[in-house]
Amino acid sequence: MDLDSAQKTPWREGSSLPGECFPSALEQAFSKVLHRLTSQGPRRGSGRHVALQDLGALIEATECDRLFEGSGTPLRGIPETLGQVAKALEKYAAPPKDEDGRADGHSEVADKAAEVGLLLLKLLGKLEAAKNSLVCPAWKTGLRHLAGPIYIFAITHSLEQPWASPRSQNVAGKVLTLLLQVTECGSVAGFLRGENEDEKGRFTVIMGLLKPYLNKESWKNNPAIKLVFSWTLQQVTRPWLNQHLERILPPSLLISDDYQIENKILGVRCLHHIVLNVPAADLLQYNRAQVVYHAIFNHLYTPEHDLVQAVLLCLLDLFPVLEKALHWKGDAARPTTHCDEVLQLILTHMEPEHRLLLRRTYARNLPAFVKRLGILTVRHWKRLERVILGYLEVYDGPEEEARLKILETLKLLMQHTWPRVSCRLVVLLKALLKLICDVARDPNLTPEPVKSALLQEATDCLIVLDHCSQGQVKSLLAKILQSCEDSKVVNCMRKVQQVSEGAPYDAI
């Protein structure tokens, strides 16, 4: 019987041809299906659909022991061909470049994904049967060729994305679940890094499959590749990640350097994960930490609050790594650090900033910088004071996030730099009392819980200010208490008065 009949009819007519053919003939049948899946002819759409139907029938009709046996050579055989078929299926279902939000394009991708997912479920079912069979020891070879492409397909279509539909997500989720079952992995992290210390895991294989699509010329051809890379990277943590640093750092830098904001954010989050999960010694080697720092520092000039937030979180975890390379000699002034440089830029941006989302983003991260620098924050006192006074005057919406964080910043600043506080007593006291009066007299703009939080934070700042000025705040407030009639303002002042002079300010 010729090859055409082996490919087109026997498994549909119920004959036992796949079992009767020599393995090489079965391999050729799969190769023909592969050729039709990858064909670039004018009628490739309908031809691929028919090829998918033939592939499903061929998988169903072939016994698992025939499906995963080789041809006797180490580099060829049905398992290798099936791996190529799985790659072709993953590529067939991948979302195309520049869909421009077209709903019809999205639905077409989702339909393809659901169809391919059902085929992969059949293939994984055969693999599971082969694993449980005593007469098919070659199933591991099949798994080695199939696991990577099937994983990429499953992650591409199980994530919440424009090209996914509830049906395609459901099928892709089942594919991922069955893949983990076949590989005897309890989680995706275990699948990637290995369930045991002596097990290698498949992260290297996955990165090898993604690498051709993660270069400057091709990474945007498939919009799912960056998401698969990012999601996969997030699953591998310390201590497994550092051995893959050369594979994961360049794509992360590439994505973060894009002109689209969503890609910048995605790339910065990948870099942040690397910073958190790779030892400092590896990041300092070959100046990698400096490369990461310079790659994301310039993003702080972008007026996009989500990007700024991602960059600041990454930088705050990168500073300890960068400072490991600094050596301070006690007889000289401490050198300025990368943290100083970033704080200086943030304060420069904060002073004239009028956009609420950016103001909140800057204020949200300011306390972490004061904690990081400690006593060295004194270098930035004048500019910090201007920012703090300016932000305390401006209403920030019902949640008052910016003003609450600015009050936290002021409290930390006074605690860390208390010798410099007393000379600024009058300015700070006026600002805090004005804030307390404004909040107390606010008729309805701010919810009561938020008002209470603001008044409590402002009171705490007054107590710290009193300790830093050796009790001068108490004496000044005693005069105001005699003439003040607002109960909320009086309550705050009495709290300050009631604090024992001997109480340590850092206990507040």
Residue 18 pLDDT: 44
Residue 184 pLDDT: 87
Query: Domain ranges in the chain?
Result: 1-96+103-184, 217-321
d(CA 181, CA 202): 15
What number of helices (H) and strands (E) belong to the chain? 26, 0
Q: Would you give the DSSP letter of residue 275?
A: H
Residue 15 pLDDT: 38
Distance of CA 185 to the CA centre of its chain: 23
Residue ranges in the chain whose pLDDT is less than 50? 1-23, 42-43, 71-75, 99-101, 103, 500, 502, 504-508
Residue listed under structure tokens 């003040």: 484
Instruction: Copy the structure tokens of residue 410.
Output: 């002021």
Residue 50 pLDDT: 83
Instruction: Copy the structure tokens of residue 232.
Output: 């996969």
d(CA 458, CA 470): 18
Residue 197 pLDDT: 64
What beta strand segments (E) does 111-208 contain?
Answer: none
Amino acid residing at 325: A
Residue 267 pLDDT: 97
Neighbours of 211 (CB within 10 A): 13
Q: What is the dihedral of CA 143, 149, 152, 157, to 10 degrees?
A: -100
Residue 42 pLDDT: 45
Residue 3 pLDDT: 35
